[in-house]
């Protein structure tokens, strides 16, 4: 069709189609797109090894792939995410996806019943553990210690996800007398990219105040624009780009191990779960906690606090 148009119109149409593709890609969060891309690359590599087509894939190929991966120890959540990635790749190629077949649906249901579908949750960090982790930070790299302290305190107090911590820029920080308001862009539940705001109050103690910790890090690293949290070279040289989300998880694991916690049970999400658990323990109203976690429903908040809530007014209490 473009061949029949004048050159100017054809160029304009091509530019519009490029932007349309960009809008199409923006329909999902960057972290979701990266996850889908990685999942499909794994699937394609497996198909190449077994001399079968990944795009389009057959129902039999998908079923064999999922079965092979379950034997390797994959969890149900990984299977479901990969099924979505394969479906998205077929949709973008305008091909029917084998993942929507009844046979694949029955396979996934059978996997759920066989190995269970309960997600493995990261350990929720208690406030006392968080304080101990901060005290254990190595002092030989003063700049790194300031950065890591700010990440731990802000991630906990703001109930932030790894990607939200690393996605913050200086322009996203709104300072006030009462504390710090964070402008969160591209959050997991923010499908319209309207932006979300999280209020982080000042800490009662200066040594564990998230607001003061962020200020100290920015001043020490001479950061006045761009990403808030960045990689360091040799503990004292600040890079320009943002810190990778997986580095937040690595930090939590390392700091947790230093105080005797099991690093395998820890991750970046331990900060968010820890804040929710501590708030529930102190009987913060559920509606306020839901708002702070930026969940659209109470049902989404309950898995964060259900273990703590199970002890409230427990019918077995005081029986033994």
**What pLDDT does 307 receive?**
67
User: In angstroms, what CA-CA distances link 274 with 139, 235, 250, 271, 309?
Assistant: 25, 28, 17, 5, 14
When pLDDT is averaged across residues 188-211 and rounded to a whole number, the result is 78
**pLDDT band per the 50, 70, 90 thresholds, residue 151:** very high
Among candidate residues 61, 88, 115, the one where a domain is terminated: 115
Confidence check: pLDDT of 2 > 60: no
Whether residues 152 and 204 share a domain: the answer is yes
Question: Do 290 and 303 meet the contact criterion of CB atoms below 8 Å apart?
Answer: no
> The tokens of 298 are what?
């109470």
Structure tokens belonging to residue 159: 């109930």
Please check the confidence at residue 8 and state whether its pLDDT lies above 70.
Answer: no
pLDDT of res. 189: 56
Q: Answer yes or no: do 106 and 144 share one domain.
A: no
pLDDT band (50, 70, 90) for residue 301: confident
Domain count, the chain: 2
154: left (phi over 0), alpha (psi -120 to 50) or beta: alpha
pLDDT of 28 over the 60 cut: no
pLDDT given for residue 188 in this prediction: 59
State mean pLDDT over 289-297.
89
- What is the pLDDT at residue 24? 57
Secondary structure letter of residue 240 according to DSSP: S
Average pLDDT, the chain: 86
Tokens of 301: 């908040």
pLDDT tops 90 at residue 18: no
pLDDT of 247 strictly over 60:
yes
- How far, in Å, CA of 93 to CA of 70, rounded? 27
pLDDT band at 296 (very low <50, low <70, confident <90, very high): confident
Contact 153, 127 (CB under 8 A): no
- The percent of residues above 70 in pLDDT, for the chain, comes to 82
Q: Are the beta carbons of 236 and 222 closer than 8 angstroms?
A: no
Tokens of 207: 């040594």
Tell me the range of 108-122, 175-189, 252-266 where mean pLDDT is highest. 252-266
Helix (H) or strand (E) run with residue 238 in it: strand 237-238
Domain containing residue 37: CATH number: 1.10.150.130
Q: Are residues 50 and 184 in the same domain?
A: no
Q: Both 275 and 305 in a single domain?
A: yes
Residue 168, SS3?
coil
Whether 23 is in a domain gets the answer no
pTM of the model as a whole: 0.70
Strands 173-175 and 179-184: antiparallel
Residue-number span of the structural domain to which 152 is assigned:
127-309
Give domain status of residue 274, yes or no.
yes
- Confidence at residue 179, expressed as pLDDT on a 0 to 100 scale: 93
Give phi and psi for 268, each to the nearest 5: -55, -35
The confidence band for 165, taking pLDDT boundaries of 50, 70 and 90, is: very high
Cβ within 8 Å of residue 131, ≥6 positions away: 208
Q: How far is 53 from 121, CA to CA, in rounded Å?
A: 35
Q: Give residue 235's pLDDT band: very low, low, confident or very high (50, 70, 90).
A: confident
Domain annotation covers residue 21:
no
How far is it, in rounded angstroms, from Cα 94 to Cα 204?
56
Residues 287 and 168 in one domain: yes
Any domain includes 317: no
- Whole-number Å distance between alpha carbons of 153 and 212: 10
3-state secondary structure of 201: strand
Residue 97 lies in a domain: yes
Supply the CATH number for residue 258's domain: 1.10.443.10
Calculate mean pLDDT across residues 6-33.
Answer: 62
Contact call for residues 257 and 132 (beta carbons, < 8 A): no
- Are residues 103 and 225 both part of a single domain? no
Asked whether residue 261 is assigned to any structural domain, the reply reads yes
Reply yes or no on whether the pLDDT at 214 is more than 90. yes
Same domain, 107 and 140: no
As a whole number, mean pLDDT of residues 46-54 equals 94
Helices (H), 30-141: 30-49, 59-71, 76-92, 102-115, 127-135
User: Are 143 and 243 in a shared domain?
Assistant: yes
pLDDT of 175 over the 60 cut = yes
Asked whether residue 318 carries a pLDDT value surpassing 70, the answer given is no
Question: Of 93, 115, 137, which closes a domain?
Answer: 115
**Is there a single domain that holds both residue 243 and residue 160?**
yes
CA pair distance 148, 247, nearest whole angstrom: 10
The closest alpha carbon to 141, from 228, 212, 256, 234, belongs to 234
pLDDT at 38 over 80: yes
Residues 88 and 183 placed together within one structural domain of the fold: no
pLDDT level of residue 267 (50, 70, 90 thresholds): very high
Residue where a domain terminates, one of 115, 139, 154: 115
Residues 292 and 158 in one domain: yes
Tens digit of pLDDT for each residue in 115-132?
876 667 788 999 999 999
- Nearest-angstrom CA–CA distance, 240 and 221: 11
- Same domain assignment for residues 287 and 148: yes
């Amino acid at each position: 069709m473009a061949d029949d148009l004048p050159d100017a119109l054809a160029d304009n149409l091509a530019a519009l189609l490029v932007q349309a593709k960009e809008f199409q890609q923006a329909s999902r969060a960057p972290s979701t797109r990266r996850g889908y891309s990685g999942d499909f690359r794994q699937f394609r590599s497996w198909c190449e090894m077994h001399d079968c087509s990944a795009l389009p894939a057959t129902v039999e190929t998908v079923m064999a792939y999922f079965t092979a991966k379950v034997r390797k120890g994959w969890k149900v959540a990984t299977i479901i995410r990969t099924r979505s990635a394969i479906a998205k790749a077929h949709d973008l190629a305008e091909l029917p996806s084998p993942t929507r077949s009844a046979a694949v649906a029955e396979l996934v249901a059978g996997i759920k019943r066989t190995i269970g579908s309960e997600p493995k949750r990261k350990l929720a960090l208690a406030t006392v553990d968080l304080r101990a982790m901060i005290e254990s930070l190595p002092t030989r790299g003063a700049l790194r210690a300031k950065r890591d302290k700010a990440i731990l305190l802000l991630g906990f107090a703001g109930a932030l996800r790894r990607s939200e911590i690393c996605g913050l820029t200086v322009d996203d920080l709104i300072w006030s007398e009462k504390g710090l308001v964070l402008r969160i862009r591209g959050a997991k539940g923010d499908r319209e990219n309207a932006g979300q705001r999280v209020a982080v109050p000042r800490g009662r103690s200066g040594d564990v105040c998230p607001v003061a910790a962020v200020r100290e890090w920015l001043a020490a690293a001479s950061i006045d624009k761009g990403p808030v949290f960045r990689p360091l070279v040799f503990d004292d040289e600040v890079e320009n780009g943002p810190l990778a989300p997986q580095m937040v998880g690595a930090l939590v694991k390392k700091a947790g191990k230093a105080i005797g916690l099991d690093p395998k049970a820890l991750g970046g999400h331990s900060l968010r779960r820890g804040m929710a658990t501590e708030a529930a323990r102190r009987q913060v109203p559920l509606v306020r906690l839901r708002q702070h976690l930026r969940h659209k429903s109470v049902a989404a908040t309950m898995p964060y606090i259900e273990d703590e809530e199970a002890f409230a007014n427990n019918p077995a209490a005081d029986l033994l």
